[in-house]
């Protein structure tokens, strides 16, 4: 069983969930603010695409609530979950791995 599935100390809960977050926001200021929110949770991989990691669904919902307060009605933000197998099978054009977040963060 891999570390993501085994969970912390064998409790059976995943350590982190990884998502691709991407947006289409027309206003420069709102786009910058939304980007700053997402950067607190991951890395910018393209101008409007981020790979973020969250502990659980509640943390993701918190990010969504924060973004709802920022964006306009015509703006669009999407979140795509990347399972461990999907991350392992993903790559960039040059063959580099993507979404390589560690299974454990030591603080």
* Structural domains of the chain sorted by starting position, each given as residue range(s) with its CATH number in brackets: 3-88 (3.30.70.240)
Q: What is the pLDDT of residue 79?
A: 96
Do 23 and 75 touch, CB atoms closer than 8 A? yes
Which is it for the CA torsion 38, 41, 43, 45, positive or negative?
Answer: negative
Q: What is the pLDDT of residue 92?
A: 85
Containing 59, the helix (H) or strand (E) segment is helix 57-68
pTM: 0.76
As to burial, measured by CB atoms within 10 angstroms (0-12 exposed, 13-18 middle, 19+ buried), residue 75 is: middle
Number of Cβ within 10 Å of residue 46's Cβ equals 9
Q: What is the pLDDT of residue 10?
A: 41
Q: What is the pLDDT of residue 5?
A: 36
Q: What is the pLDDT of residue 104?
A: 53
Q: What is the pLDDT of residue 101?
A: 58
Q: Which residues of the chain have pLDDT under 70?
A: 1-14, 99-107
Do 5 and 36 touch, CB atoms closer than 8 A? no
Q: How far is CA 8 from the centre of its chain?
A: 20
């Amino acid at each position: 069983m891999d570390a993501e599935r085994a969970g912390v100390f064998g409790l059976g809960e995943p350590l982190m969930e990884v998502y691709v977050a991407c947006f289409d926001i027309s206003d420069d200021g709102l786009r910058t603010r939304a980007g700053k929110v997402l950067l607190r949770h991951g890395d910018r991989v393209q101008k409007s695409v981020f790979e973020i990691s969250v502990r659980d669904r509640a943390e993701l919902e918190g990010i969504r609530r924060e973004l709802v307060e920022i964006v306009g009605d015509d703006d669009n933000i999407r979140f795509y979950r990347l399972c461990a197998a999907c991350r392992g099978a993903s790559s960039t054009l040059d063959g580099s791995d993507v979404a390589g977040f560690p299974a454990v963060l030591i603080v």
